[in-house]
Structure 1
Amino acid sequence: MSTATDRGVVGKLSTLDRFLPAWILAAMLAGLATGRVIPGLGAAIDAVQVDGISLPIALGLLIMMYPVLAKVRYDRLDTVTRDRRLLLPSLLLNWVLGPALMFALAWLLLPDLPDYRTGLIIVGLARCIAMVIIWNDLAGGDREAAAVLVALNSVFQVLAFGVLGWFYLAVLPGWLGLPQADLAVSGWAIARSVLIFLGIPLLAGYLSRRLGKRARGRDWYETRFLPRVGPLALYGLLFTIVVLFALQGGQITSRPLDVARIALPLLVYFAIMWTGSFVLGKAIGLPYERTTTLAFTAAGNNFELAIAVAIATFGATSGQALAGVVGPLIEVPVLVALVYAALLARRFFAPSTATVSERPGHDTAPSA
């Protein structure tokens, strides 16, 4: 890949997105410092709660979920549901193979750290509905297909996340003869967290798009409204990270190697899921654009939802919550690297008859 191409890919990212790992690291350090200099912070944060989560954290979680779901093109579901070569592999990768792979990696690489292991299993169940649109767009993927798969993942998470969480955390370990004492969790508790912290912003995002387009038109919604609310997702994430690390400062500074161990299964997961999905797309005859979309939607995870569920179910100071917080710090640089890998692999595909932006009905404004 040429240097000019490299600059082009990076240049398409906003300043916020380009330095996302740095912002996340800064938020972690700010949280650690805040926890040390403000005594009694934990008691103040927990004074008012929503579904077992302190009100400040709950607001941060809802704010970071809403902009992502407001960007989804809910009216384009049929453009992908008719393409079974894309839809069926995506459902298989996202809801069967992905969670199973993370479950296996968590038990294989964290056998002695049950809290972090559980947190990673929750991450594996939370399929990506956020930054994946950005990575897909940078790699030249099919933007509409990505938006539709994101919409399907959003709806499916509301319907199935609680059941899958109960299965992977409470049922499957018993079947396999694995310890269960540290995995006792209510399926309803997970489902309730999903309904609150995904269902509410999902409804708000859907209504925003529907009412905004009706009142001001699609062009205003896509080019004026979304750019204004988009950064709220990052602000909400960073705020949540600051609060979580303020609460977990003592645990983090006393066990820095645990953070590195959390990172290892995540790195292996991203490599296997993205590479396997990309090879599968090529093997079943998908064009480059949809192969890329399949790979990125399968490899990414919804860390916002994972953090919300972990906090609501296990508490803000739990190891499960820490595993979710570490996730974005690892995911962002890895998926940026995979954008370049996809562009390098493009030479092995036949040229498309039309670019993504030239397809009928395709929006030329960035979806993310």
Structure 2
Amino acid sequence: MSLFERWLSLWVALCIIAGVAFGHLLPGLFQAIGTAEVARVNLPVAVLIWLMIVPMLVKIDFAALGQVTKHWRGIGVTLFVNWAVKPFSMALLGWLFIGYLFRGLLPADQIDSYVAGLIILAAAPCTAMVFVWSNLTKGEPVFTLSQVALNDAIMIVAFAPIVAFLLGLSAITVPWDTLVLSVALYIVVPVIVSQILRRALLARSPAALDGFLKTVQPLSLIALLATLVLLFGFQGEQILAQPLVIALLAVPILIQVYFNAGLAYLLNRVAGEAHCVAGPSALIGASNFFELAVAAAISLFGFQSGAALATVVGVLIEVPVMLTVVFLVNRSKGWYEAGRAS
């Protein structure tokens, strides 16, 4: 691990502080960057995510996709956590903390809206950023890609019914343009670009591929940190204006992340999956597709609603919290392998 990677938590903390400060001091600049979007997908953030995930996708040999069936237990665990546990556990946590324990500390007219935003956030499993988390845990890249692609396919048919059921609505407005564009931007196009690049490098020599990957590895982490600055800069004024509300909304999100990550990790251990599968499985099970969640909340409840704010809080804590999950997964590898079922 390089010196830069070893001190990643420090760089993350500094970027969060810088993002909030810049967002407060230069609101016009961040507002301009924030409005550079198509179908509520922010294009500067999309470019940074490309810089994060394309180098990781270049590592993947698509000829190995046929081998993913040997990780069927990991796929089953992740699907169970993502679709049978996560939305429902968040609904329970939302009503417990926001609807009951914290009720007297929050605006009374926004309670239901806050809970709705939390549910929308949990009903959309993460896509692009999972490649970053998987790479940091030395996860199996073919498993990660296959799991993300499968989640995207399920999300197209399951997101609306699950959210509608949990919110008690007869129908919801799914921002299909955001969903389709996000899948194309973060999965389809990067996969195509990365495989063209991989073949071109291998045509030269295996050493050319190794040299490229070694060169661009720091670029992925730099793009991750730049994304943090942008995300916190976009919401700098909100953080400073409503720190208590944001802190209270973060509580059920934090519990949900660690609960679902821990559940997926333990189930993989019991099932006998390798650590390189259990790591990304836990991370996929815990993280969220925040672009879709924010867009759906705005479509349903409006830009100034409590639901929109709740999904934005999910955006703000996504990266730093998932980095702590990465740390725990890496540090517990010895314990995991020692007790893994055969």
What's the TM-score bracket when you normalise by the shorter of the two chains?
0.7 to 0.9
Post-superposition Cα deviations, 1:175-206, rounded to whole Å, max 9, x if no partner, equal: xx3x689x743344323322223322222223
For the 8 Å contact 1:64–1:236, the answer to whether it is kept is: yes
- Match in the other structure for 2:312: 321
**CA distance change for structure 1 residues 324 and 46 in 2, over 3 Å: closer, same or farther?**
closer
**CA distance change for structure 1 residues 188 and 278 in 2, over 3 Å: closer, same or farther?**
same
1:335 aligned to 2:326?
A: yes
Q: 2:174 aligns with which of 185, 198, 223?
A: 185
**CA distance change for structure 1 residues 128 and 22 in 2, over 3 Å: closer, same or farther?**
same
**CA distance change for structure 1 residues 86 and 118 in 2, over 3 Å: closer, same or farther?**
closer
Cα distance in 1 between the residues matched to 2:265 and 2:14: 33
Cα distance in 1 between the residues matched to 2:237 and 2:66: 50
In the alignment, residue 228 of structure 2 is paired with which amino acid?
I
- Match in the other structure for 1:61: 49
**CA distance change for structure 1 residues 119 and 88 in 2, over 3 Å: closer, same or farther?**
closer
For the 8 Å contact 2:81–2:285, the answer to whether it is kept is: no
**CA distance change for structure 1 residues 36 and 218 in 2, over 3 Å: closer, same or farther?**
same
In the alignment, residue 35 of structure 1 is paired with which amino acid?
G
1:299 aligned to 2:300?
A: no
Cα distance in 2 between the residues matched to 1:68 and 1:159: 21
Q: Offset of 1:157 from its aligned partner?
A: 4.1
1:272 aligned to 2:259?
A: yes
Question: Could you tell me the TM-score, scaled by structure 2's length?
Answer: 0.76
Cα distance in 2 between the residues matched to 1:180 and 1:249: 36
- Match in the other structure for 1:217: 205
Q: 2:229 aligns with which of 242, 245, 255?
A: 242
Cα distance in 2 between the residues matched to 1:191 and 1:106: 28
SS of aligned partner of 2:60: coil
Post-superposition Cα deviations, 1:136-172, rounded to whole Å, max 9, x if no partner, equal: x3xxxxx5xx222112023224433333332333x22
1:72 aligned to 2:73?
A: no
- Match in the other structure for 1:154: 148
Query: CA RMSD of the aligned region, Å?
Result: 3.6
Post-superposition Cα deviations, 1:282-341, rounded to whole Å, max 9, x if no partner, equal: 444x2xxx3423432222049997244356666799532341231111121233123333
1:173 aligned to 2:166?
A: yes
Q: Offset of 1:48 from its aligned partner?
A: 4.4
Cα distance in 2 between the residues matched to 1:104 and 1:217: 54
Cα distance in 2 between the residues matched to 1:198 and 1:228: 23
Post-superposition Cα deviations, 1:77-129, rounded to whole Å, max 9, x if no partner, equal: 22231454444444444554445544554555445324751563256454833
- Match in the other structure for 1:120: 121
Q: 1:204 aligns with which of 188, 193, 207?
A: 193
Cα distance in 2 between the residues matched to 1:348 and 1:335: 19
For the 8 Å contact 1:98–1:298, the answer to whether it is kept is: no
In the alignment, residue 132 of structure 1 is paired with which amino acid?
S
For the 8 Å contact 1:116–1:323, the answer to whether it is kept is: no
The structure with the largest helix share of the pair is 2
**CA distance change for structure 1 residues 50 and 77 in 2, over 3 Å: closer, same or farther?**
same
**CA distance change for structure 1 residues 29 and 232 in 2, over 3 Å: closer, same or farther?**
same
In the alignment, residue 277 of structure 1 is paired with which amino acid?
A
Question: Could you tell me the TM-score, scaled by structure 1's length?
Answer: 0.71
For the 8 Å contact 1:57–1:243, the answer to whether it is kept is: yes
Cα distance in 2 between the residues matched to 1:186 and 1:79: 34
SS of aligned partner of 1:64: helix
Cα distance in 2 between the residues matched to 1:45 and 1:241: 14
**CA distance change for structure 1 residues 88 and 158 in 2, over 3 Å: closer, same or farther?**
closer
Cα distance in 1 between the residues matched to 2:170 and 2:240: 28
- Match in the other structure for 2:134: 132
Cα distance in 2 between the residues matched to 1:210 and 1:116: 43
For the 8 Å contact 1:212–1:218, the answer to whether it is kept is: yes
Cα distance in 1 between the residues matched to 2:287 and 2:194: 15
Cα distance in 2 between the residues matched to 1:17 and 1:218: 25
- Match in the other structure for 1:17: 5
Unaligned runs of 5+ in 2: 100-110
For the 8 Å contact 2:48–2:223, the answer to whether it is kept is: yes
For the 8 Å contact 1:73–1:151, the answer to whether it is kept is: no
Cα distance in 2 between the residues matched to 1:153 and 1:349: 21
For the 8 Å contact 1:274–1:295, the answer to whether it is kept is: no
Unaligned runs of 5+ in 1: 1-12, 138-142, 353-368
**CA distance change for structure 1 residues 125 and 246 in 2, over 3 Å: closer, same or farther?**
closer
- Match in the other structure for 1:33: 21
